[in-house]
Amino acid sequence: MKKITQYIVLSLFIFLGTISVQGQSKLVNKGDSYYKKAEYYQALQSYLEAQNEGEKLSGEVKVKMGKCYYELNNIERALTTLLEVEDQLSTKDDYMVYAQVYQRSGLYAKEDRGAIFWYEKALKAGANPVQVNELIESCNWAAAHEEIEPYRVNPSPIFTSGQSFGIQYYKNGVVYSSASEEGSKNVDRQGKSFLNLYYSDLKGNEIQKGSLFSKSLVSPYHIGAISFTSDFNTMYFTKVVRVKGGESRLKLFKVNYEGNDWGKEIELPFINDKYDYGHPAVSPDDKFLYFVSNMEGGQGGKDIYRVERLRGGMYGTVKNLGPEINTYGDEVFPFVSKDNVLYFSSDGHYGFGGLDIFRADYEDGAWKNVRNMLKPFNDVADDFAYVVNPKDPEQGFLSSSRTETGDDVIFTVEFVGEKDEPEVEPELPKEGDVIALEDLPEEQGPVQEDAKIDLSAYPAVFSAKVKSTFNNLAAKGVKVDIIDDATGKIIASGISDDKGVFNIDIPDEYRKDGQELELVFSKEGEFNSKRMILNIMELADLNENGLSLTPIFNDEVLDDISGMVLYYVGTELTEESKKTLDRLATYLQNNPQIVVKLNSHTDARGSKLDNLFTSQRMGEKVEEMLMKKGVDSEATIPRGYGERYIVNKCKRGVLCSDEEQLKNRRIEVVVWRVKK
């Protein structure tokens, strides 16, 4: 395959001329230079620029692009890119990255050529057997642990122009790291805006509008991952610093509050410029400082350490938390709650992929009994920096990259299960006790009824229309369950009729102020179920506007889309094919979870190399036409095959009519996958 690629590239040099190719080659070389220095964002930008200028990138470069996407945490694009060059993956590193992409996509099964399949290929290619076997066991563990804990995890309303994470409780609010609202052209090696510290008030568990925490702490580089002492007068924080030789290091600093603002930052005395130090966590009794480092002598990548805080700004001996907590991977973002539970994130313990949140108990002078927090705390994305509300242990925050962009954002955490309330039994009198006269029950008069609540203020019926996102037609036979969000009890149910309409009476006892309802819409085998939680007063909006469900695409529907073929003459689609393109655009706009390949072909006339380039250009042209019609660029993958797949007798050297040749000048629409 590499020889074929080399031949094509060499022919391209000759065909398009030396000047043009030299410019394109410089971009790829520039990308390779960045790639070698692990500057994946800059490398990817160079490769994409070369591609946009028309250069046909080799399989080797596309593998590098896939790895760049992986390193930049864009797992979906990494999977898309590496799938195209799957047959060119050959090294243990290739297989390891590809396996981890599958694992972080939640695709584990060996029989489906998922993560385990590729981990085993990496093993045969010479990858570390201990590490690979652990990762395979992690996949098996994840597949067997789909249960969901009784917590609600939702994105917080923090508004930023980029990522935000590492939140900590502070007095009556929270402090967190966030990209500036104004945005900046200055970005780090991953293309992310630099972070500073922001503060927001809390009302209940709701974050209010944020503002800069302190002007004295503003940094031209990243600053974040913080922790406060219990009196909020001392803060530890992580900051990126340039060290001798020009390299960047994470360092730990301490700063004291001096009445009106934070004072001068002090680098912690045990820091060594050879290593990274970050993610501080002060224990609730202020006795210990936990932190993360990749210093020599650890268990693997980044480990969690502990050091005693002494008087006079001094510190005791730095100690590794040991193999019970630390693994061959990374352990990061420790946090110790008021009830002395250690929470941290790891990609070395068994999990769902990426970083997962774990907890550990302190027993006999050591942290033990590590347990995955399961879903919804964890997902296939990176989940980290969990903190517990010191005033209410059933609330908290975590940070996660479970977003469309892969950016780290802050999520609220709230317990929604049934609370255990101990029953208090009345104390019965014992023999010999004197019962006061006033303790005896009084004779009861007529029972007075409670004042009646005016139920007319609350919806009595949930009545709405359900439609399909695919064709906007009525969705018949959809089951609708109304659940009391506080107890999890189903209080009413119904099914949509031929017109997609359902009518469900709401029991009177649930028509009241503050009533939260969970609505579940499902039709097994036909539609993806939908869940939503809302206040009873919000039902009116659904009653008026209805809702839509996304169908589960069966073979018949997918065949309808996959059966689309676009024919072209020269560089223009035929009139009939333009109409077909309109249909395809409608499908893809209404169903953004569908990703299609635009497999482009030519007839067998002219140069084979010309035909290969022509087919790719036509595929990309159709992709641009779809984008102009409002289709997302990630919904299509153009792929040129030239004259490789002729559908009739018109092979090279055979005389055919223009009508017969047209059958080969085509773009076939193939459903590649349906995103979850």
pLDDT digits (tens, 9 = 90+) for 597-650: 898 999 988 877 778 888 989 999 999 999 999 998 888 998 887 887 788 888
Q: Count the neighbouring beta carbons within 10 Å of the beta carbon of residue 113.
A: 13
Is 619 found in the same domain as 516?
Answer: no
The rounded distance, in Å, linking the Cα atoms of 388 and 394 is 8
Tokens 């520039």 appear where?
Answer: 30
Is residue 107 domain-resident?
A: yes
Residues of the chain with pLDDT under 70: 1-24, 158-165, 179-194, 219-222, 404-405, 419-454, 469-471, 553-562, 674-676
The rounded distance, in Å, linking the Cα atoms of 134 and 624 is 44
**CB hemisphere CA count around 532 (13 angstroms):** 12
pLDDT at position 514: 80
Is 594 found in the same domain as 497?
Answer: no
Is residue 192 domain-resident?
A: no
- 395, 389 in Cβ contact below 8 A? yes
Tokens 């589960």 appear where?
Answer: 552
Is 484 found in the same domain as 508?
Answer: yes
Please report how the helices 40-52 and 18-36 are oriented relative to each other, as an axis angle in degrees rounded to 10: 160
Is residue 178 domain-resident?
A: no
Measure CA 664 to chain center: 41
The rounded distance, in Å, linking the Cα atoms of 384 and 190 is 19
The domain boundary, picked from 524, 549, 574, lies at 549
Is 136 found in the same domain as 45?
Answer: yes
Is 329 found in the same domain as 240?
Answer: yes
Phi-psi region of 377 (alpha: psi -120 to 50; beta: other; left: phi over 0): alpha
Is 591 found in the same domain as 523?
Answer: no
Is residue 99 domain-resident?
A: yes
The rounded distance, in Å, linking the Cα atoms of 6 and 88 is 14
Paired residues of 587 in beta bridges:
none
User: In this structure, is the dihedral angle defined by the CA atoms of residues 151, 157, 163 and 167, taken in order, positive or negative?
Assistant: negative
**In 350-469, beta strands by DSSP E:** 356-363, 366-372, 383-389, 392-400, 409-415, 461-468
Is 581 found in the same domain as 527?
Answer: no
The domain boundary, picked from 515, 549, 583, lies at 549
Q: Nearest 5°: phi and psi at 642? A: 60, -135
Structural domain of 293: 220-408
Q: Count the neighbouring beta carbons within 10 Å of the beta carbon of residue 126.
A: 11
pLDDT at position 411: 87
The rounded distance, in Å, linking the Cα atoms of 1 and 87 is 9
Is residue 342 domain-resident?
A: yes
CATH number for position 624: 3.30.1330.60
CATH number for position 349: 2.120.10.10
Is 559 found in the same domain as 545?
Answer: no
pLDDT tens-place string over residues 519-561: 989 988 778 778 777 788 888 878 888 888 877 755 555 555 6
The rounded distance, in Å, linking the Cα atoms of 97 and 78 is 9
The rounded distance, in Å, linking the Cα atoms of 64 and 81 is 9
- 474, 482 in Cβ contact below 8 A? no
Query: Which contiguous run of DSSP H or E holds residue 331?
Result: strand 331-336
The count of structural domains within the chain is: 4
Measure CA 27 to chain center: 31
The rounded distance, in Å, linking the Cα atoms of 96 and 326 is 21
Is 401 found in the same domain as 259?
Answer: yes
Measure CA 223 to chain center: 23
Is 562 found in the same domain as 544?
Answer: no
Is 636 found in the same domain as 543?
Answer: no
Please list, in sequence order, all residues whose beta carbon lies within 8 angstroms of the beta carbon of residue 577, skipping any fewer than 6 positions away.
565, 566, 567, 568
pTM across the whole model: 0.59
- 326, 340 in Cβ contact below 8 A? no
CATH number for position 478: 2.60.40.10
Is residue 123 domain-resident?
A: yes
Is 599 found in the same domain as 492?
Answer: no
How distant, in Å, are the alpha carbons of 39, 518, 606, 661 from that of 55?
22, 52, 21, 28
CA nearest 501: which of 475, 520, 539? 475
